[in-house]
Chain A
Amino acid sequence: MSVVERQEWDVVVIGAGGAGLRAAIEARERGARTAVICKSLFGKAHTVMAEGGIAAAMANANEHDNWQVHFRDTMRGGKFLNQWRMAELHAQEAPQRVWELETWGALFDRTKDGRISQRNFGGHEYPRLAHVGDRTGLELIRTLQQKIVSLQQEDKKETGEYESRLKVFQECTVTRILKDERGRVSGVFAYERETGRFFVIQAPSVVIATGGIGKSFKVTSNSWEYTGDGHALALLAGAPLLNMEFVQFHPTGMVWPPSVKGILVTESVRGDGGVLRNSEGKRFMFDYIPDVFKEKYAQSEEEGDRWYEDPDNNRRPPELLPRDEVARAINSEVKAGRGSPHGGVFLDVSTRMPADVIRRRLPSMYHQFKELADVDITAEAMEVGPTCHYVMGGIAVDSESAAARGVPGLYAAGEVAGGMHGSNRLGGNSLSDLLVFGRRAGWHAAEYAAAQAFERPEVSDMQIDTAAAEALRPFSAEGPTGSEDDGPRPPENPYTLHQELQQAMNDLVGIIRREGEMEQALEKLADLRVRARRAGVEGHRQFNPGWHLALDLRNMLLVSECVARAALERTESRGGHTREDHPTMDRKWRNINLLCHLADPTGGLAATDPERGQINLVRETTDPVRQDLLALFDKEELVKYLAEEELYQ
């Protein structure tokens, strides 16, 4: 086996989106030598796609806002399944994290008195989202990127090297997290996409910040990077995944033309006054306000319209219900035959705002529809439908430190971490989540690494050889022979496998789920796993997308199995998990977490054994919500969510 280059760093951050960069900044500022590894170019992470804003109770737009209200909204949005301590920390720390961005050069849109402007969003009681037009994610990523450059400039001044304390390894993919014999994290195994060269970074702390899993679904707003790498890496390293059944389908994705199906249409379109109509021209959302939200939402179009001007005396329009509710409503309308020509519904701003206001407030949406669909949103309605957008489930972490459970030295932040959003995430809470927990992960990873300074974990050659062999397998794929008379079967095309996986997940574990279909999905996944072992690629290791996809398939298959198994297990409908055969929310499930563990805890190659499935599911009862936090809610409201015994504790 060839010699693989090794480097020593203190903290390795996998992923250079909002959470990864924020973690890296924190770790470096706390003195840890920090390496960031990302699959794309630096600054291209999926965070740039976030449009609406960063939720933070700064009370710039409405003085009544504070962290308690934000916490309450977050818990309601997540249907009380949230890891409440995370939701609390998140609501408390978000404003600081946003203000900090300004000191790094971010330029948010302003209020009249020069403070950060905040906009309305689904599920938030007050206007709360700091934003820059509809390109907030770009501003966030650019600000963090430029902060990193600024730290590198400082390092250059002191040490003569830009990359002496903080380095970004761009266009590299991590395939394994390595551990020493005591079970501590010891580093990562990765390859350079450009050259195909393998390398190992030895480090006592690893922060996973790889985002989501959307690429396992056919219709998704996520980019190619979202193959659930971090989820799979954590699983393989022995950490459990939490509540993977909760997948958010954003209600408004583009539905036409086919090549852009799934691309996001920001919620700000609705926050700024856009309305949803069916083919009969009816604002159907008024028919879909669930009981738990009856008191919070307008009952008539007139009241809803008044709310934009006078939010203190009117209730908000139901277009701004949490995303799961709106997505289900659209799904029902289309099913009932009241959809738009291309199988969505109409989202209209053209009759609600003057053209120049639309162009100013929603510039990228205007641009996106004009360029990609030939639709002028100032003159006609958009066609939209649900698209796989975000996974609420993720690596089970400690609320305070973002440490992954069960694996010392492993941390997770951002979309890849579970718990914070419960069963459904509110718009705007992801960017604040990235910042709050990205920082916490970086902080604790740096501290942990410092504590290991005198007994740094070792990486053994054998581990490296195993990881290298696994990564190279697609080049020599011939696969096990099936039955004797068939002879050896040809290698599988990874692109085909990927398409089949996406189709299966979309159809069988999609927005509305049924027991039988999910069982079918598990069978299909088993079949795909067998075939994926034979995924073969042509050419060589230099920038070979076929090879990259073949490697990513392992991760997608693992994560998809988690989603399907957990979804089959949870016999209720809550947030991002809707069961047709169990259509209501069940209070008994309120305090139940579903944890996915790797069936083969050694995390070796045996874990990819096709036959018996790779995932064991474990139920766990959550800690009761702290009394002072429960006291923020009305008793009548709590009754809807909490089981009897929880209420009287």
Chain B
Amino acid sequence: MSSSYEARFKVWRGDVQGGDLEDFKVEVNEGEVVLDIIHRLQSTQAPDLAVRWNCKAGKCGSCSAEINGRPRLMCMTRMSVFTREETITVTPLRAFPVVRDLVTDVGFNYDKARQVPSFVPPQDLGPGEYRMMQEDVDRSQEFRKCIECFLCQDTCHVVRDHEENKPAFAGPRFLMRVAELDMHPLDAAADTGLDRKKTAQDEHGLGYCNITKCCTEVCPEGIKITDNALIPLKERAVDRKYDPLVWLGSKIRRRSSAE
């Protein structure tokens, strides 16, 4: 089997004024990933083909695109997952405004990032005095593996299929950020009167999530966004508002403390 062959590609080219899938035939060598092919197109056929990329090792989350309709990192999609006969379609992320070719305006995500109140350091601890147990940081550490490729934000139908929901919904990445901070063993938000569980529901649109798990499916870091962040966050919101025993417990406690 020869290690090199010619593949057929369709790459979306255009900008906000319009565009189309353009056909390319391009050489593919053993061990290559889709990003290599896009680079080959750049250096041989389309020097102005716009694409974002950085580390080429799945660590920076820049080269997000949709390959055969599925949100993926181009640098982590090996050509060997496709047959040689297949035409491979590469388009920009379809949940965000397009800038040019494969580059989209991901500003939505940066806006949302700003709306999540930051970590609140505990007042009584100085630098070097933090003591946290590994089991207490494990959960938040999983969420901090996030490379912010925004594939989860792209695939989430809440905003992908409903532009009008963008103002009200932070998206999986930033709901996960809320969960991360709420599970941080030393976050002192509560001391400042900030209830992250409440803001998750009231300000970041947790209720829009219908846990259909596409975010988890596309996460290149394998973070269990739905099971470990979103559902626990929903459960924490339930604690506050809907749990019968918690409600009863707080009634009794209030009464006994009043006596």
Contacting residues, chain A, for B147 (C-beta < 8 A): 48, 138
Report how far A49 CA is from B134 CA in the complex, Å. 24
- A149-B51 CB under 8 A given contacts A102-B130, A107-B137, A256-B31: no
Given contacts A100-B127, A153-B117, A224-B54, contact A107 B140 (CB under 8 A): yes
**Residue of A41, A46, A224, A499 ringed by the most chain B CB atoms within 10 A:** A41
Q: What chain B residues lie within 8 Å of A426 (beta carbons)? A: none
Bound Cα distance from A368 to B146, whole angstroms: 15
* B117 engages A495 (CB within 8 Å): no
Task: Determine the chain A residues whose CB is within 8 A of the CB of B128 once the complex forms.
Answer: 58, 95-96, 99
**Contact bitstring B187-199, A, C-beta under 8 A = 1, else 0:** 1000000000000
Jot down 23 A-B pairs with beta carbons below 8 A, ordered by A.
Answer: A40-B54, A41-B52, A58-B128, A99-B128, A103-B121, A107-B137, A110-B133, A133-B141, A138-B144, A138-B145, A149-B113, A258-B31, A259-B32, A372-B58, A373-B31, A494-B47, A495-B43, A537-B47, A539-B47, A539-B48, A543-B50, A543-B100, A543-B103
Asked if A7 CB lies within 8 Å of chain B CBs, one says no
Residues of B contacting A284 in the complex (Cβ-Cβ under 8 angstroms): none
In the complex, which of the residues A48, A146, A264, A537 contacts B48, with contact meaning CB atoms closer than 8 Å?
Answer: A537
CB-contacts of B93-149 with A (<8 A)? 99-101, 103, 106, 110, 113-114, 117-119, 121, 125-128, 130-134, 137, 140-141, 144-148
**A139 an interface residue at 8 Å Cβ cutoff?**
yes
Contacts known (A256-B31, A259-B31); A107 close to B144, Cβ less than 8 A: yes
List of B residues within 8 angstroms of A364 by Cβ:
59
Cα distance, A224 to B51, chains bound together (Å): 12
Does A312 reach chain B (CB closer than 8 Å)? no
Q: A142-B144, A372-B33 are in contact. Are A545 and B51 (CB under 8 A)?
A: yes
Residues of A within 8 A of B134 (CB): 109-110
Is A575 interfacial (CB-CB < 8 Å)?
no
Which B-chain residue is minimally distant from A103 (CB atoms)?
A: B121
Residue contact B144 to A150, C-beta cutoff 8 Å: no
Q: How far is the CA of A392 from the CA of B118 in the complex (A)?
A: 35
Please determine whether A545 and B118 come into contact, CB atoms closer than 8 angstroms.
no
Residues of B within 8 A of A110 (CB): 132-134, 137
- A318 CA to B53 CA in the complex, in Å? 36
Judge if A11 is at the interface, Cβ distance under 8 Å: no
Name 6 extra pairs, CB < 8 A, besides A103-B127, A139-B144: A42-B110, A107-B140, A156-B114, A260-B57, A494-B47, A543-B101
Q: Tell me the residues in window 82-117 of chain A with beta carbons closer than 8 Å to chain B beta carbons.
A: 95-96, 99-100, 102-105, 107, 109-110, 113-115
Contact A260 B114 (CB under 8 A): no
Q: Report A133-153 CB contacts with B as 1/0, cut-off 8 Å.
A: 101001100100011011011
CB neighbours of A580 from chain B (8 A): none
Chain A residues, Cβ within 8 Å of B125: 103
Chain A residue nearest to B102 (CB atoms) is A543
Is residue B56 within 8 Å, beta carbon to beta carbon, of the partner chain? yes
Smallest Cβ distance from B24 to chain A, in angstroms? 16
Of B101, B114, B148, which is within 8 A of A162 by CB?
Answer: B114
B203 contacts A by Cβ under 8 Å:
no
A260 to B117, CA, bound (A): 38
Residues of B within 8 A of A46 (CB): 54-55, 60
Q: Is the interface of B mostly helix, strand, loop or mixed?
A: loop
A72 and B214 alpha carbons, distance in the complex (Å): 51
Q: What residues of B have a CB within 8 angstroms of the CB of A113 in the complex?
A: 131
A536-577 vs B, Cβ < 8 Å mask (1 yes, 0 no):
011110111111000000000000000000000000000000
Q: Which residue of A lies closest to B110 (CB)?
A: A42
With A and B bound together, what is the CA distance between A115 and B146 in angstroms? 23
Tell me, yes or no, whether B20 is within 8 Å of chain A by CB.
no
- Which listed residue (A100, A114, A156, A493) contacts B131, Cβ 8 A? A114
**Chain A residues whose CB sits within 8 angstroms of the CB of B55 once the complex forms:** 46, 48-49, 223
The proximity string for B residues 9-45 relative to A, scoring 1 for CB distances below 8 Å and 0 otherwise, is 0000001000000000000011111001000001100
In the complex, A283 has a CB within 8 A of chain B: no
CB-CB < 8 A to B30: which residues of A?
Answer: 257-258
Residue in A closest to B185 when the chains form the complex, CB atoms: A107
CB pair B119–A223 under 8 Å, yes or no, is no
Assuming the A-B contacts A538-B47, A543-B103, are A367 and B60 also in contact, with contact meaning beta carbons closer than 8 angstroms in the complex? no
Select from chain A the residue with minimum beta-carbon distance to B76: A371
Tell me how far the C-beta of B45 lies from the nearest C-beta in chain A, rounded to whole angstroms.
Answer: 11
A361 to chain B, nearest CB (A): 13
CB nearest neighbor in A for B33: A259
Residues of chain A within 8 A of B49, CB atoms compared: 545
Q: Are A135 and B145 in contact (CB under 8 A)?
A: yes
A224 to B187, CA, bound (A): 37
Instruction: Identify which of residues 1-48 in chain A touch chain B, using a CB-to-CB cut-off of 8 Å.
Output: 40-44, 46, 48
User: Cβ of A540: which chain B residues have Cβ within 8 Å of it?
Assistant: 48
